[in-house]
Amino acid sequence: MINERMKVGVLYAAIGILAAFGAACSNEPGKETANSAPIIKSEPAKPASDKGDSVVTGGDLAFMNDAAPGGMAEVELGKMAASKAQNAEVKAFGQKMVEDHSKANDELKQIAAQKKVMLPPDVMPAHKQLMEKLSKLSGADFDKEYVAAMVADHEKDVAAFENVSKTAADADVKAFAAKTLPTLKMHLEMIKAMAGKMGVKMKT
């Protein structure tokens, strides 16, 4: 009986030693156990960048998609006025439209390239219709129609650029609108003065 008890005692002792050894092995560094979780290395948060958003959305994107074809139209219409206008002031204004809007268009294209924005490649249908209409006119008729169109266009442009210069989310788009706005206001004052001299009725 004693021998049997001794054998049982030795067996339990051996089992206890093996269990203890197994636990020690399972707690080695780098090894997971049922009660341990893997160690996850976390990187420190990167500081926010305010150098201009890489993606333009919402109202800023809509503004760019309107401003690009609008600017192209001003250049094309300006070329038409520079060559077809009878009034010397209208002819000079047309040339100024080509110069000023070409410059603004280039700046907008640079911003679009940085933001990976695909701008419309052509003018809007409404501007195409205006070009077709003006192409069939000459002399004083052309001058009056062109001036009336420029007053209407620049009133819309000034309102749009003024709004974006205050409310745009993208820093670069906001800066572009603010930089271009004074030139548009100058254009509007110039063309309104011409319209007054020529007795041109404003479009509503």
Q: So what's the pLDDT on residue 159?
A: 98
Type of residue found at 176: F
Q: Which domains does the chain have, with CATH numbers?
A: 58-198 (1.20.1260.10)
Distance of CA 92 to the CA centre of its chain: 33
| Helix residue ranges per DSSP H, the chain | 2-26, 58-84, 88-115, 125-135, 139-167, 171-198
Q: What is the pLDDT along the chain (204 residues), one digit of tens a residue?
A: 445 554 444 445 444 444 444 444 444 444 444 444 444 444 444 433 334 446 788 999 999 999 999 999 999 999 999 999 999 999 999 999 999 999 999 999 999 999 999 999 999 999 999 999 999 999 999 999 999 999 999 999 999 999 999 999 999 999 999 999 999 999 999 999 999 999 998 765
Q: So what's the pLDDT on residue 54?
A: 62
Distance of CA 25 to the CA centre of its chain: 59
Rounded CA-CA distance 192/188 in Å is 6
Tokens of 108: 């907008």
Apex 99 CA angle, 176 and 110, nearest 5? 35
Type of residue found at 172: D
Tally of CB atoms within 10 A around 148: 17
92's CB contacts (< 8 A; 6+ apart) are: none
Contact 194, 93 (CB under 8 A): yes
Q: So what's the pLDDT on residue 44?
A: 43
Rounded CA-CA distance 118/132 in Å is 27
Contact 74, 191 (CB under 8 A): no
> Between the CA of residue 140 and those of 115, 127, 135, 176, what are the distances in Å?
44, 20, 13, 36
Tokens of 52: 């201009």
Q: So what's the pLDDT on residue 174?
A: 97
Q: So what's the pLDDT on residue 190?
A: 97
**13, HSE (Cβ side, Cα atoms, 13 Å):** 6
